[in-house]
Structure 1
Amino acid sequence: MDVRAADAQLHALLANFRKIIVLVADEQSMTPAELAHVNRVGQGLFHENQARTGALNAALAALAGSGNPARHDAIGALLGYIESDPGMYDADRLAFRELLQALLGEVARDSSLPAIKLHRRISEDLEALAEIERNYEKEIAQVFGRFAPRAIALGREKWEAYVGHLKKLYAREAILRDHGVVLPYPAPPAPEEGEMFGRALPPKTLVLTFDDGPHKRYSDEIAAILKQYQVPGVFFSVGHNMGKLGAAGEVALNPGAQVSRRLKAAGFVLANHSMTHAQLAKQSGDALRAEILDSDRVLREVDAARAPLFRFPYGARNSEGMATLAGAKLTSVMWNIDSLDWADPVPSSIAERVLRTVQKEGRGIILFHDIHERTVKALPAILDRLVADGYQFAGWDGAGFKAARAAAAPAEKPVSAGYANSWAVVIGIDDYPKWPKLEYAVRDAEGVRETLIDKFGFAPARVITLKNAEATRNGILAAFHDRLGHGGVQKNDRVFVFFAGHGATRKLSSGRDLGYIVPYDSDPDQFATDAIPMTEIQNIAEGLAARHTLFVMDACYSGLGLTRGAGSRNFLRDNARRIGRQMLTAGGTDQLVADGGPNGHSVFTWTLLQALSGKGDLNGDGLITATELAAFVAPAVAGVSDQTPAFGSLPGSEGGDFVFELPGETEFLGPETAQLSSEAIALNVKLDAARPDGGAKAGAAAAPVVVRDLQGGEQKIVPAGAVPSSARQQAQRANDRGLQLYKEKRYAGAEAQFAEALKLRPGFALAANNLGFVFYKQGKFREAARWFENTVKLDPSRAIAYLNLGDAHARAGEGAKARAAYTTYLELVPNGVSAAYVRQQLERR
């Protein structure tokens, strides 16, 4: 036996045991749909442990009988871990009970003195485990008493303390997410027609069902208890526990078949639980049919009159599986009362759960398993109480029930800013002939232009761009007067103006400051006459017919008086009625614009572009108002530079707020997805840290922010409350936030946002793929593969998901699965951007 491998398997066994307990903790607070997902994942973990325990049993049996002189020391080291590892609680050691029981039998075959000592040590360990179980049953809310010392020294922790400890190690949502499950917020779809859940039974009527057997000991013990109480039961048996099919299709029974025949002879019903207990929702074709029909063949060999009932392992089924049942004239039997005996190691807790759920449901089908000693122990207490409370127990009578399907929710009308046309004037000047040259202004203007066109749908013909020598005084004024003033801007349009270049301030004789933007051809000695004063900008703004106009000036000056409008609860409706003339500037008088931002942008414009990428949506409603833009940009820029951006409304404004409507991101993350540079990520971290509260969560009003007005004073601005949006829109916004975080390599946050999108919209293939890719980037390849598999089920035509799935399987060592995924990718897009890469991967396999 490989001692290191065995040690790793023991740790994995304990980890799964703990995860199962975390999954089912507080199950009384879960909805039936949540319990179904929890049970499926938990049962998967449980069956992993069953297989792991079986492999360890086989390895220990081989070691114990090997005659190797070191065998006793190796077994002793394993016992030492179970007995005294300092990281274990008492309840942790219950994970190894079945392993120790099997090991006791193997060691008993060895008559040597070291083996006899080991036998005694294991016996004492099993006694300690029995006492641990008894004390958890009797004192689940009390401190354990002292017990005589033995190899496993009993602790004195409470069960609540143990579960609390496990919750610090694992979170239910994270465990589920790792296994391809995000519990949705909406109610789940109704069950498929033709299935039995037990809710159609008469009041106070129950059906007892037992899965996963037959077991060589526990099935007979459960049958004896049922006989004692004169209660019928249905045993859903796994085919390979009773026999197998030969190459010619003949049935070869094993000793487990005799257990099933004794159950049948005692009057109990035998039913089908698949051939190997596979996850049938993930199976299709011949493999799926074999799981159902081969097991039926074996079952008929045991009981020619077997009941035509089938239970899907984990309750997980798909439409093909249901169709296969229909063709075989089998009925799917589910349950509405789950004992969770596969997860809960404490019999009294199992009994309490069943009785509580029965009281709530009033009738139904109870799910047990006949492969656990704890079920045997819990069953009498359950039956005592149910019989005393007047419940009756039904056997198989062929009746069924159909669940009504919930009506689909009506589609919600999306919110809209409601503009007719969008116009922009974008100006960038680096190469001043008579003023100091700048390095970033033209690139800033180009970046803003691209964002307006590519992200917000501004028509290129309506985005007037002036760079360097084009941006003379006459050129700038002509853009406003000729292209906008007489060029078709209407009252329901919006106009966005961006200027990157020099700004200047002149003090008037009255003592008031007057700000200017400096065009390309201005002379520093004559700027009072050849620059463009803010008063003229005001006149231009008031003269435009547009509903809303926003000036964003990446230059520093002051000299404008401001007016403010009040907020509104019905924001979009009221905002459409109000004229808006607003301005956001990079800084105040005598402040230099901080150039050295990432990607060749100034700090101010980089922050502006980050806001427009979605970060400026402070209340999470998919809209970025000018007020939100200022509330994001001003404190962020002030926090990382010597600039103090200013914001306010220009004369003529009636309180309207310029609105950007964020489009939904449609990018499926993949190998070609670009992430931000280290320089950009570092600045974004500083920008986020500079914000007062990091922004309000989706659906809530953003916090008030204090920013400068253009006269240098302070003002408090309060962004409007969120516009109501549908779950679908909220899911899109969560996905978009996840994409932003992914590009900043903030994987934990991205994972949480993509999961939030799936909670809101369970069928969201884009978010499923993106969540998978976040796992992939963190080296969690099996977890990633589960989410890519979910993606291709939701959207089978999405080629990038097959590429991602192939990469995840390849990195996880699943060569055959990787090849299948890569092949599908090439079938969908034989000339895709990654086709050459995929062909190389296929050649290696």
Structure 2
Amino acid sequence: MRLISLALLLTTAFALTGCNKRLSEVPAALPAASAAQDTNATARLRAEGDGLLALHRQIVVLMDGEATLPPAQRREVQALGQQLFHELLQRQQALADLALKPESLDATAGLLTRIESEPSWFDADRLAFKEVLGQLATGLKNAQTLDGIKLARRAQDDLDTLAEVEKAYEQELKEVFGGFAKRGIELKREKWTDYVAKLKTLHTREAVMKQHGAQLPAAADLAPEPAASGAMRGVAAKEREVFGDKLPPKTVLLTFDDGPHARYTDEILEILKRYQAPAVFFQLGQNLGKVGADGKIQPGNGSAVAKRVLAAGHQLANHSFTHGLMSKFELVKVKEEAANTEALLDAAGRNGDALFRFPYGARNDGALTTIEALKLRSMMWNVDSLDWSDPIPKSIAARVMAELDKQQRGIVLFHDIHARTVQALPLVLDQLAAEGWRFASWKDGQFVVSSDKPAAPPPMAAGELYRDSHALVIGINQYTAWPKLSHAVRDAQAMRESLVTRFGFRADNVTLLTDAEATRANILKALNERFGDSKRVRRDDRVFVFFAGHGSTRRLPSGREVGYIVPVDAGLNDLQADAIAMPQLQEVAEAITAKHALFVIDACYSGLGLTRGASPAADSNFARTNARRIGRQMMTAGGADQQVADDGPGGHSVFTWTLLQALNGKADLNGDGLITATELAAYVAPAVSSIAHQTPAFGSLPGSEGGEFIFELPTAQEPALSGAVAQLDDKASQFAAKLDEASTAGRQVAAAASGAASGVQVTIKGLDGKDQALAATTARVDPGARVAAQRANDRGLQLYRERRYDEAEAAFKEALQLQPKFALAANNLGFVLYRRGKFADASAWFEKAVEMDASRSLAWLNLGDARLQAGDEGKAMAAYKTFLELAPKHARATELQAWIANPSDTTRPKPL
């Protein structure tokens, strides 16, 4: 038996900051000022900050309303805007570098005070410092001084508040920076209108363009509107350059400019790998390294990133050395920029065609001739994501798809130096896959379509919910000193398999520790080193921890009890030294960078006394709202001094077996395809407590801000039913039915599935041992007929495995009502009828299945079996012959071939 108890562990106070306040209202908690403050650093930070803000304001004025300008002026404004944005990035980097110097900490505190409370600045002004704050929060986090650590926390608090400012201005930012033309009158918030009006008293578009006139390319040297043919004035022949209009229909070539980036390029490589999408990376020489006056190459850190681009199967290309305006360069400078970058690309191992892209698309005949003399060919684009200016990932994705829809082919321009590009790219690739687009690359002077098969989304992907998923799964049977358990290792193995195969956790991101591996040192190492690594686990990730094993409690002299999970090597008498105390797990939870973490403990606990209440019920914008909230949650198998059953069905504990059933879809109480931690608890806790006489508990841990850990149910269709599909034994089937009947939530699943229930309220134990009501769902979500049909089919499969044939039949019929041409559901309905001995009815549904989709080999096999059982050997043989043509290597092929060759009673097939 598993036994663990935990009482109140510690008291933690929280100072909650309202997330809607202005940055100017954030208190400025400066560290103690040094008597010898570096006034020079203060002055430099002030000057750099002023310059950065002035540039930000100029870009706002320049881009405001640019979508309404005539095409030629619009191209001119966009070209200048992109150049100013590159200058803005350089200023942001310079400001961050200066603020991160150890000798500048006092001055940095002053900079934060200015960002937070400068009275002459609008909230929207402070958005100019978002990237700087991000670098400060990360860079100062590793400081060796208390002042540095305090500043890091302060910068992060500012970032969190700034996110609310950005959210408030989301629509306006999209309109001003996005360059996304719309028709009709758009209402703007008075606050934003006031902000732009204020800026226009300081700057005008004409003045900005005049001030930066030396940076403007000649109109004849700019890229044309994307919808144009691709020819340029001032260029002799279009054939000298590569344009997207030569691509086959519904084909796209992805390109990324301005890298390599130390972080974002690798993240983009991960996304491209998931979608098996090739790309061309146009890289800046200055990001790759240096070239000495003697021509000697000095590779920099970016060179290693470039090598990873090549190792991932993508192409490297030349984007100049400094990202300068090459149409205004002397030709000798053009040659130097291109040649130096070529040398660095060659040093990184670049192979394949030598391509070049002019920064801003600004080139003239002389510049083009110069790069051609270096055996380079210019590649342009016809779909501009404008990710350099648009801060809204969904807007970037919408723009790209709108242009592709209009042109039906294209070379797409992205930049691998922006976080928003990382967020927008999966949205674009998902849509391309859904609409049947193909990917292309460039080889031997021509486009090469990677496959005749359209792009496909990655299997089991978690959509927009998480960037990546991480897990630690622990199961211990063979304890050294404690009583041995029977099923904990199997519980852990099944949980790992579910995470990887069903919920898209990458196998190398799931650490499994069983028996001798699950020592105290190994568990703590996995928790601290793996989850505490901010380079591995990032803000948009999730972390899941599962423990199956023993636990115990130590009572302190004060009367307070401390709970422990027990590693394999723990002794019986020294928990403090040998086991892992719950405060250590809580510290891990608070230190994790990921936005959502869920701890599931298959052992007994009483309350933590540290909860902040149940998570709020989901609203219509749940996924988007939840993405902003930190979530730290825990579910336990039992309460204080309770024994947790280790002998449930299928070689699992009762708790874990119920948990696995819930994750198969039973806990999706509102049918939206998402199982939140609250829904999971609402299903599991009542079911387990009614069956096994133990009291699972659920609640939030310190550091939680109302976010919900989410499991996204896969949308891939499961296999068709046939005799090879395993079912639960009678005992397990009866147990499953009792669980559903016992669970308060379970009793409403069927009603919720049909839209009858508006919500499920369940009372369970909180981590503090007190009853709490969970609002597990809100109004029924309508996923559309196709998705609803798939979910009804999945529910039928689960019910079939539990031998609940009446309910399974009803579920498959529901699927067919929602989607009448659903061949898989027709086959499955036929097989349920077949199992019940209704062979004629079963044959009719199998026939409908093969009429809908004649390629379904198992439906032909099932049809043959049903006809044979009904006594029609001739039709059975015909169905079997078709099956063998489709699946000649099936396990039953030899048996069927023998009967077809000699149709006697002795060789007659033995169907299920």
TM-score, normalised to structure 1, is 0.50
**Residue 488 of structure 1 corresponds to which residue in structure 2?**
536
What's the offset of the Cα at 1:724? 4.0
Q: How far, CA to CA, are the matches of 2:660 and 2:588 in structure 1? A: 25
Hey, what does 2:766 align to over in structure 1? Answer: 709
Q: Distance in 2 between matches of 1:669 and 1:542?
A: 45
SS in 2 for 1:554: strand
Q: What letter matches 1:635 in structure 2?
A: P
Equivalent positions of 1:525-544 (< 5 A) are 525-544=573-592
Tell me the equivalent position of 2:785. Answer: 727
1:734 aligns to what SS in structure 2? Answer: helix
Partner of residue 525 from structure 2, selected from 474, 478, 488: 478
**Who is 2:638 aligned against?**
587
Partner of 2:644: helix, strand, or coil?
A: coil
| Residue 881 of structure 2: aligned partner | 823
Change (3 A) 1:633 1:417: farther
CA distance in 2: counterparts of 1:771 and 1:417, whole angstroms: 34
Q: In structure 2, the residue corresponding to 1:506 is in which secondary structure?
A: strand
1:641 positional shift: 1.3
Separation in structure 2 between the aligned mates of residue 459 and residue 740 of structure 1, nearest angstrom: 25
Deviations 1:573-624 (A, max 9, x none): 1111111110000001111110111121111111111111111112222211
Q: Measure, in 1, the Cα distance between the counterparts of 2:811 and 2:551.
A: 41
The 1:479–1:415 alpha-carbon spacing in structure 2 relative to 1, beyond 3 Å, is closer
Moved over 6 A (4+): 410-415
In structure 1, C-alpha distance between the alignment counterparts of 2:678 and 2:903, rounded to whole Å: 56
**2:649 paired with 1:598:** yes
SS of equivalent to 2:628:
coil
Deviations along 1:403-426, whole A, 9 cap, x unmatched? xxxxxxx99999946111111100
1:566 equivalenced with 2:616 (yes/no):
yes
Distance in 1, Cα, partners of 2:718 & 2:879: 22
2: distance between equivalents of 1:416 and 1:602? 32
Find 1:519's aligned residue among 520, 544, 567.
567
Superposed, which structure 2 residues align to 1:607-756 within 5 Å?
A: 607-664=658-715, 665-692=717-744, 694-696=747-749, 697-698=752-753, 699=755, 700-721=757-778, 722-756=780-814
2:840 is aligned, of 782, 797, 801, to 782
1:714 to 1:559, Cα distance in 2 relative to 1, 3 A = closer
SS in 1 for 2:748: coil
Matched, 1:814 2:872: yes
What corresponds to 1:444 in structure 2? 491
> What SS is found at the alignment partner of 1:443?
helix
The 5 Å alignment of 1:420-439 reads 420-439=467-486
Q: Secondary structure at the match of 1:680?
A: helix
Provide TM-score, normalisation by structure 2. 0.46
> Deviation string for 1:488-517 (max 9, x for gaps)?
011111111100011112334444432211
Matched residue type, 1:566: P
**Residues 472 and 520 in structure 1, CA contact (< 8 A), matched pair in contact too:** yes
* 1:356-405, Cα deviation, whole Å (9 max, x unpaired): xxxxxxxxxxxxxxxxxxxxxxxxxxxxxxxxxxxxxxxxxxxxxxxxxx
- Cα distance in 1, alignment partners of residues 815 and 896 from structure 2: 30
Structure-1 separation of matches of 2:870 and 2:811: 25
After superposition, the Cα gap between the structure-2 partners of 1:831 and 1:568, relative to the gap in structure 1 and judged at 3 Å, is closer
> What's the CA shift for 1:841?
4.1
Letter in 2 for 1:551: F
Asked whether the equivalents of residues 605 and 640 of structure 2 are also in contact (C-alpha less than 8 Å), the reply is yes
Retained in 2: the 8 A contact 1:587–1:646? yes
Contact kept, 8 Å, 1:428 with 1:468, in 2: the verdict is yes
The one-letter code of the counterpart of 1:552 is: V
Once the two structures are superposed, residues 626-678 of structure 1 have per-residue CA deviations (whole angstroms, 9 ceiling, x without a partner) of 11111111111101112100000101111111111111342100111111111
Contact 1:514 1:559 in 2 (8 A): no
Contact 2:554-2:575 within 8 A present in 1 as well: no
Secondary structure at 1:617's aligned position in 2? Answer: coil
Give the 3 Å change call, closer, same or farther, for CA 649–732 of structure 1 in structure 2: same
CA deviation string 1:54-80 (max 9, x = no partner): xxxxxxxxxxxxxxxxxxxxxxxxxxx
Quote the offset at 1:484 in angstroms: 2.2
* RMSD over aligned Cα atoms: 2.1
Q: How do 1:377-392 residues align onto structure 2 when only pairs under 5 Å count?
A: none
Q: Aligned equivalents of 2:560 and 2:670: distance in 1?
A: 37
The answer to whether the 8 Å contact 2:760/2:777 transfers is no
CA–CA distance in structure 2, aligned partners of residues 418 and 627 of structure 1: 17
How do 1:137-156 residues align onto structure 2 when only pairs under 5 Å count?
Answer: none
Assess if the C-alpha contact under 8 Å between 1:598 and 1:606 holds in 2: yes
Structure 2, unaligned stretches of length 5 or more? 1-433, 437-456, 905-912
**1:317-396 equivalence runs, <5 A:** none
Matches of 1:527 and 1:514, distance apart in 2: 10
SS at match of 1:822: helix
Return the offset for 1:558: 2.3
1:840 positional shift: 4.1
Deviations 1:181-211 (A, max 9, x none): xxxxxxxxxxxxxxxxxxxxxxxxxxxxxxx
2:545 partner SS? strand
Quote how far apart the aligned CAs of 1:695 are. Answer: 2.8
Structure 2: how far apart are the matches of 1:502 and 1:702?
36
Structure possessing the higher radius of gyration over alpha carbons: 1
Q: Which residue of 2 aligns with 1:499?
A: 547
Whichever residue aligns with residue 499 of structure 1, its letter is F
SS in 2 for 1:717: strand
Residue pair 1:701, 1:719 contacting (<8 A) in 2 also: no
Q: Is the 8 A contact 1:493 1:547 kept in 2?
A: yes
| Contact in 1 for aligned 2:626/2:707 (Cα 8 Å) | yes
The answer to whether the Cα contact below 8 Å between 1:417 and 1:660 also exists between their aligned partners in 2 is no
**Distance (whole Å) between structure 1 residues aligned to residue 898 and residue 748 of structure 2:** 46
For the residues of structure 2 that align with 1:586 and 1:727, how far apart are their CA atoms? 37
User: Counterparts of 2:529 and 2:816 in 1: how far apart (Å)?
Assistant: 49
Change (3 A) 1:724 1:574: farther
- Contact preservation (8 Å) 1:512, 1:559: no
- The count of residues paired between Structure 1 and Structure 2 equals 436
Q: CA deviation at 1:782?
A: 1.1
1:457 aligns with 504
AA matched with 1:657: E
Preserved contact between residue 515 and residue 568 of structure 2 (Cα < 8 Å)? yes
Secondary structure class of the residue paired with 2:800? helix
Give the one of 859, 870, 893 matched to 1:801.
859
- Identity level (%): 55
**Does structure 2 retain, via aligned residues, the 8 Å contact 1:571–1:720?**
no
The offset of 1:723, in angstroms, is 4.4
C-alpha separation in 1, matches of 2:486 and 2:748: 32
Contact 1:571/1:723, CA 8 A, preserved across alignment: no
Relative distance call for 1:673 and 1:568 in structure 2 (3 A) is: closer
Pick aligned residue for 2:815 from 757, 781, 786 = 757
3-state SS of paired residue (1:576): helix
How far residue 439 of structure 1 moved from its aligned partner, in angstroms, is 1.2
